[in-house]
Amino acid sequence: MRSRRTGGTKVPPLHVVGHVVGLALSLVAASASGQSLSYSRGQNVSPAYEGWEEDPDGSRYFVFGYMNRNWEEEIDVPVGPDNGFSIGEADQGQPTHFLPRRNRFVFRVPVPNGFGDKDELVWTLKTQGKVEKAYASLRLDYRIDDVVRASETGALGAGTSSPEIRANKPPTVEVQGRKALDAKVGEPITLTAVVTDDGVPRRRGSGLAGAAVANPGSRRDVTDTRPDSQNPVRVNRAMQPPARVTVGKNVGLHLSWFVYRGQGAVRFSPEQIMSWEDTRAGANSPWAPIWIAPEMPKDGRIDVQVTFTEPGVYVLRSRADDGALTGDGQVTVTVTR
């Protein structure tokens, strides 16, 4: 093979250089593609330690969530060796039904008596043959508050807040009637919840994620004001690629019912807003582009019909979400044929 010389160094022909560069770019693209793979099913669930918080009365709690690596598959793991804790009872209020993708700030566990700064509470979860653990400690850098919650769920941009959002109180939800119910397979029951909130943050109709605190870069429509622009164009930012690498969330008070414990398909009518981070375009989710929170009834009263396909004991959770903070209620339903 002939080669050219430049300053005494052999340089391969240009077509060889082109082949090498092309191969390198292909390998980089393949690597990036492999790193961004997503799955509908077949993947495991990883427990997550979100941090610890202290109530006004001085009580301290560890807060947990999880990441289900599937986009569609919901996984059930009963309380026990495959879903339990290293200290105290195995059952400490954790879910046994795991919804898809990232679910943050799902449940709290009281800090055990005598728990020291160097101690750890470990939540072990085994799914799809894989064991993963979340390690909870009282390290100061793991302390969380309402602003941290709002930021982590995507309601605030990085480093942004306001006096209004710092004064925000979580919504409350009160499930009406008995909290332990009976039902028959295939026969719908009606659940009623009443939601109250302080109106903060204000509902925004732009359908843009991360809108609890407005900034110039979060406006939906931006005018092209370049000096050479003869006809300024209104650009819908909701149709543009996201400008932030962290999750973003549309704000506005809403209520979601979902299965917290129990196996078997459960149907909700009307269809419920996703309580998990479904970021796909068109999803009925506050994390999805162009999603807008529905108008809430003036009395905050919301009815839902629930139909079970299999017998068993189910825990259904209702989550009121103002876009930044949440409040939960739940009922237990025993289903027979």
CATH of the domain at 311: 2.60.40.10
Q: 80-89, pLDDT tens digit by residue?
A: 999 999 999 9
pLDDT on residue 164: 85
* Tokens linked to 256: 């979601």
Q: Is residue 155 part of a domain?
A: no
Please say if the pLDDT value at position 213 is more than 50: no
For 263, the domain range is 167-212+242-336
Number of H helices, E strands in the chain: 3, 20
CB 248 within 8 A of CB 154: yes
* Same-domain status, 173 and 309: yes
Please say if the pLDDT value at position 234 is more than 80: no
Q: 263-305, pLDDT tens digit by residue?
A: 999 999 999 999 999 999 999 999 999 899 999 999 999 999 9
* Rounded Cα distance, 111 and 53, in Å: 10
Number of domains in the chain: 2
The reported pTM is 0.81
Please say if the pLDDT value at position 3 is more than 50: no
Q: Is residue 83 part of a domain?
A: yes
* Same-domain status, 186 and 82: no
Q: 14-25, pLDDT tens digit by residue?
A: 444 444 444 444
Indicate the length of the chain as a whole number. Answer: 337
* Rounded Cα distance, 313 and 118, in Å: 38
Q: Is residue 220 part of a domain?
A: no
Q: Is residue 287 part of a domain?
A: yes
| Half-sphere exposure (Cβ direction) of 65: Cα atoms closer than 13 Å | 18
**Closest CA relative to residue 62, chosen from 115, 110, 116:** 110
* Rounded Cα distance, 94 and 136, in Å: 14
Q: Is residue 179 part of a domain?
A: yes
* Rounded Cα distance, 110 and 318, in Å: 21
Q: Is residue 231 part of a domain?
A: no
Q: Is residue 152 part of a domain?
A: no
CB 101 within 8 A of CB 46: no
* Same-domain status, 272 and 188: yes
Q: Is residue 247 part of a domain?
A: yes
